[in-house]
Amino acid sequence: MADKKKDEELELFEESTAEETAETVEEEAPAVVDEKQGFDPLHAEHGPLNQMVRTNFLEYATYVICDRAIPALEDGLKPVQRRIMHALKEKDDGRFIKVANIVGHTMQYHPHGDASIADALVTLTNKRYLIEGQGNFGNIFTGDRAAASRYIECRLTPLARNEIFNKELTEWIASYDGRNKEPVSLPCKLPLMLMLGADGIAVGLSTSILPHNFIELLEAQIEILREKVRTPAELNLLPDFQTGGLMDVSDYNKGNGKVKLRAKIEMRKNNRLVITEVPHGTNTESLTASIEDAVKKKKVPVRSIDDFTAEKVEIELTLSPGASQEKAMQALYAFTKCETSISSRLICLRENRPVEMTVDEVLRENVKQLLIILERELELKKAKLLDDFHNKTLVQIFVENRIYKKIEQCKTYEAVYKAIYKGLEPFTNQLKRAVVDDDIEMLLGVRIKRISLFDIEKNRKDIEEILAELAQVEKDLSGLNGYTIRYIKRLIKEYKDQYPRCTESASFKVADVRELTSTELQIKQDENGYIGTNVKGEIILECSSLDKLLVIWKNGQYKVLPPPEKLFVDDSLERCEIFDRDKLFTAVYTDARITYMKRFAIGGAIMNREYYLSQGEKSKLQLLVDGTPEAIYVKYRPAKGQRIHQQRFNPNDIAVKGVKSRGNRMTTKSIKYIGDEPGRWWDQNDDGAIPEGVLL
**CATH number of the CATH domain containing 279:** 3.30.1360.40
Q: Are residues 35 and 175 in the same domain?
A: no
Contact 156, 132 (CB under 8 A): yes
Q: Are residues 482 and 604 in the same domain?
A: no
- The answer to whether residue 354 is domain-embedded is no
pLDDT for 682 equals 84
Q: Are residues 459 and 565 in the same domain?
A: no
Single-letter code of the amino acid located at 437:
D
- The answer to whether residue 254 is domain-embedded is no
500-515 residues labelled b (16+ CB within 10 A) or e (exposed): eebbeeeeeeebebee
pLDDT for 416 equals 86
- Domain boundary (161, 187, 213) is at 187
Number of separate domains in the chain: 5
Q: Are residues 519 and 490 in the same domain?
A: no
Q: Are residues 567 and 465 in the same domain?
A: no
Name the β-bridge partners of 360.
Answer: none
Rounded distance, CA 309 to CA 564, Å?
39
Q: Are residues 600 and 638 in the same domain?
A: yes
Is residue 383 within a helix (H) or strand (E), and if so which, with residue range? helix 359-400
Q: Which residues are catalytic?
A: 151
H, E, C per residue of 295-360: HHCCCCCEEEEEECCCCCCCEEEEECCCCCHHHHHHHHHHHCCCEEEEEEECEEEECCEEEECCHH
Q: Tell me the CATH number at 534.
A: 2.120.10.90
- What is the extent of the structural domain holding 38? 2-45
Q: Tell me the CATH number at 402.
A: 1.10.268.10
- The answer to whether residue 218 is domain-embedded is no
Q: Are residues 32 and 104 in the same domain?
A: no
Distance of CA 475 to the CA centre of its chain: 44
Q: Are residues 430 and 465 in the same domain?
A: yes
- Domain boundary (337, 365, 389) is at 337
Which residues have C-beta within 8 Å of that of residue 499, sequence separation ≥ 6? 128, 213, 214, 215
Q: Are residues 577 and 672 in the same domain?
A: yes
Q: Are residues 660 and 530 in the same domain?
A: yes
DSSP code for 644: -
Question: In 3D, which of 131, 78, 134 has the Cα closest to residue 109?
Answer: 78
- The answer to whether residue 139 is domain-embedded is yes
Half-sphere exposure of 288 (CA within 13 A, CB side): 19
- The answer to whether residue 279 is domain-embedded is yes
- Domain boundary (128, 158, 187) is at 187
- The answer to whether residue 351 is domain-embedded is no
Residue 646's SS3 state is strand
- The answer to whether residue 59 is domain-embedded is no
Q: Is 197 exposed, middle or buried (0-12, 13-18, 19+ CB in 10 A)?
A: buried
- Reported pTM: 0.75
Range 102-107, long-range pairs (CB < 8 A, 24+ positions): 102/154, 103/149, 106/80
Question: In 3D, which of 636, 654, 658, 653 has the Cα closest to residue 645?
Answer: 636
Rounded distance, CA 130 to CA 123, Å?
11
pLDDT along the chain (696 residues), means of 10: 44 44 42 51 66 74 75 93 96 95 95 91 95 95 93 96 94 92 95 93 86 96 78 76 94 92 93 94 94 89 91 92 89 92 92 90 94 96 92 84 80 86 87 86 74 69 91 94 95 95 86 66 86 87 85 89 88 87 90 89 89 84 89 88 85 88 88 87 69 75
Catalogue the E-assigned strands of 479-583. Answer: 504-505, 521-525, 530-532, 538-543, 549-553, 557-561, 567-568, 573-578
Q: Tell me the CATH number at 109.
A: 3.90.199.10
- The answer to whether residue 508 is domain-embedded is no
Neighbours of 589 (CB within 10 A): 25
Q: Are residues 519 and 659 in the same domain?
A: yes
Q: Are residues 667 and 563 in the same domain?
A: yes
Q: What torsion do the CA atoms of 421, 427, 433, 437 make, to the nearest 10 degrees?
A: -20
User: What region does 30 belong to: left with phi over 0, alpha with psi -120 to 50, or beta?
Assistant: beta
